[in-house]
Amino acid sequence: MSGPAEPVFIGRPGDAELTDQLLSPIWLPKRKSWPLLMTLLGCGSLMFFSLMIWTFWTGIGLWGNNIPAAWAFAIVNFVWWIGIGHAGTFISAILLLFEQRWRTSINRFAEAMTLFAVIQAGLFPLLHLGRAWFAYWLIPYPATMKVWPNFKSALPWDAAAVATYFTVSLLFWYLGLVPDFATLRDRAPKRRQRIVYGILSLGWRGSAQHMRHYRVAYGLLAGIATPLVLSVHSVVSCDFAITILPGWHSTIFPPYFVAGAIFSGFAMVVTLLVPARRIFGLENVITKRHLDNLCKMIMVTGWIVLYSYVCEFFLGWYSGEPAEMHTMLHGLTEGPNCWAFWTTIFCNCVVPQFYWSKWCRVTPIAAWCLSIFINIGMWAERFSIIVLSLQQDYLPSSWHAYHPSPVDWGLLLGSMCFFLFLFVLFLRYIPFVPLWELKELKRKLLKEEG
């Protein structure tokens, strides 16, 4: 028999005590490690933008792209980053509509991760275009210069879906912050801080009318954001599925990509949440219950991904089509860069099985280490789908192994640094645990306890 469920909130501190605890990362003096961390991440971000400028100036010949592997690294990174951004909307919107209490302490954390991941994702297609100043051609609108987008292509709808997803996620994240910005405005020790947070709070006073309008708007945005979780990565998958390339043209891609996106997104939440929980001493509001549920979601979506892998190989074999069978049974498993395929299998199929153990789910260091393996595995999966399928297509005379250049690796590492740079700034200057929602949860728990 399993024991009692872990609580979602430990202790019952007063409102003032809870406010002091959750706002302390903003008011307390910076740690000694802060300048060093920001310097390292800032240098990585500077490298990222320097390589971007160099790519714009010189062209994508700096990359390891070749024929037939012309998509290669930039699109690998794009699909990986856009997938990471799915967990934030899932945790915030879908769990809100289902009234899951365990979302309360981690939803804003995940929402910020979504925004910063989508920012990284949006940069790589611009780089991949080669001529980023023509990126607006991808937007599906009736042009006024006698050049119409191809509405039958998935690419314009890809741009529209990602832009819509980012806009709705930004509004949803900012609206949730408004009450806490008002709290920061009222408690800020410096006049400049009171002015900044006062502007951001939009005149919030916590009246019954404000709260009524707030709940309606928050619920509407949650309802709008929920179908975007399914639509965005489904549209991204159509970039591949509507082609005739072996290994790509499959109707399983939309659900497969959505499950993989949620899988990688939840893994990234654990990767970022565990260190922040430990550094800021938030074990009472981000409890083992949160880690347990996050790891269970990783395990569930991991099994969906595993099932998709099995279906993909079965369909490749069952089709009887020589090129498809070669790609699935030889190109992936023993061709050039097959390390990516075997890394994918180990990290995405074997590693998640450790989450069957409750000890692995509720022990922060174990859950954190496993989540890192999953993040690596999901990047390797994107590399396998894009690069390994392109390396050996229908025409054997054009087969060519792909090798990333130092610029490719630098852009990937730089995007990670830029992502962490934005995320650390968020942790420092914005309440990353929703204060007003946590107080409301505490009152509900006290009421239930009598």
Residue-wise pLDDT tens digits, 355-365: 999 999 999 99
Backbone angles phi, psi at 147, to 5 degrees: -125, 110
Residue-wise pLDDT tens digits, 285-308: 888 888 999 999 999 999 999 999
What single letter denotes the amino acid at residue 297? Answer: M
Distances in Å between the alpha carbon of 386 and those of 248, 302, 328, 342? 9, 20, 13, 15
Query: Which percentage of the chain shows pLDDT scores above 70?
Result: 96
Burial class (CB within 10 angstroms; exposed 0-12, middle 13-18, buried 19+) of 293? buried
- At residue 1, the pLDDT reads 38
Which of 193, 77, 123, 91 lies closest to 422 in space, CA to CA? 123
Residue-wise pLDDT tens digits, 409-442: 999 999 999 999 999 999 888 888 888 888 888 8
Contacts within 8 Å (CB) and 24+ apart, 311-316: 311/252, 312/250, 312/252, 312/256, 315/250, 315/252, 316/246, 316/247
Q: 292: which 2 tokens?
A: 């347990």
Residue-wise pLDDT tens digits, 239-287: 888 888 888 888 888 888 888 888 998 999 999 999 998 888 888 888 8
Residue-wise pLDDT tens digits, 220-235: 888 888 888 888 888 8
As a whole number of Å, the CA-based R_g of the chain is 23
Q: 165: which 2 tokens?
A: 């997803």
- At residue 144, the pLDDT reads 64
Q: 72: which 2 tokens?
A: 């290669």
Residue-wise pLDDT tens digits, 12-61: 777 788 888 888 888 777 777 888 889 999 999 999 999 999 998 988 88
Question: In the predicted model, what is the mean pLDDT of the chain?
Answer: 86
C-alpha span between 341 and 191 (Å, rounded): 56
User: Which bin fits 100, alpha (ψ -120 to 50), beta or left (φ > 0)?
Assistant: beta
The residues near 385 (Cβ < 8 Å, ≥ 6 apart) are 79, 240, 247, 248
Which of 355, 407, 410, 342 lies closest to 381 in space, CA to CA? 342
C-alpha span between 383 and 75 (Å, rounded): 9
Cβ atoms of 127 and 411 closer than 8 Å: yes
**In the chain, what are the domain boundaries?**
15-90+113-140+228-449
Burial 339-370 (b: 16+ CB within 10 A, else e): ebbebbbebbbebbebbeeeebbbbbebbbbb
Asked if pLDDT for residue 129 goes beyond 80, the answer is: yes
Query: Which percentage of the chain shows pLDDT scores above 90?
Result: 29
Mean pLDDT is highest, among 56-70, 333-347, 389-403, for 333-347
- At residue 450, the pLDDT reads 63
Q: Work out the average pLDDT over 107-136.
A: 87
Residue-wise pLDDT tens digits, 88-98: 887 888 888 88
Asked if pLDDT for residue 2 goes beyond 60, the answer is: no
More confident residue, 148 or 121: 121
Asked if pLDDT for residue 383 goes beyond 50, the answer is: yes
- At residue 214, the pLDDT reads 87
Q: Work out the average pLDDT over 397-403.
A: 84
Distances in Å between the alpha carbon of 337 and those of 181, 341, 436? 49, 8, 50
C-alpha span between 241 and 65 (Å, rounded): 21
- At residue 342, the pLDDT reads 94
Cβ atoms of 242 and 248 closer than 8 Å: no
Q: Work out the average pLDDT over 205-233.
A: 86
Mean pLDDT is highest, among 316-325, 331-340, 341-350, 384-393, for 341-350
C-alpha span between 219 and 349 (Å, rounded): 36
- At residue 145, the pLDDT reads 61
Asked if pLDDT for residue 147 goes beyond 70, the answer is: no
Cβ atoms of 272 and 113 closer than 8 Å: yes
C-alpha span between 166 and 326 (Å, rounded): 38
- At residue 406, the pLDDT reads 93
More confident residue, 133 or 63: 63
Which of 72, 70, 71, 67 lies closest to 398 in space, CA to CA? 67
Q: 156: which 2 tokens?
A: 């314009």
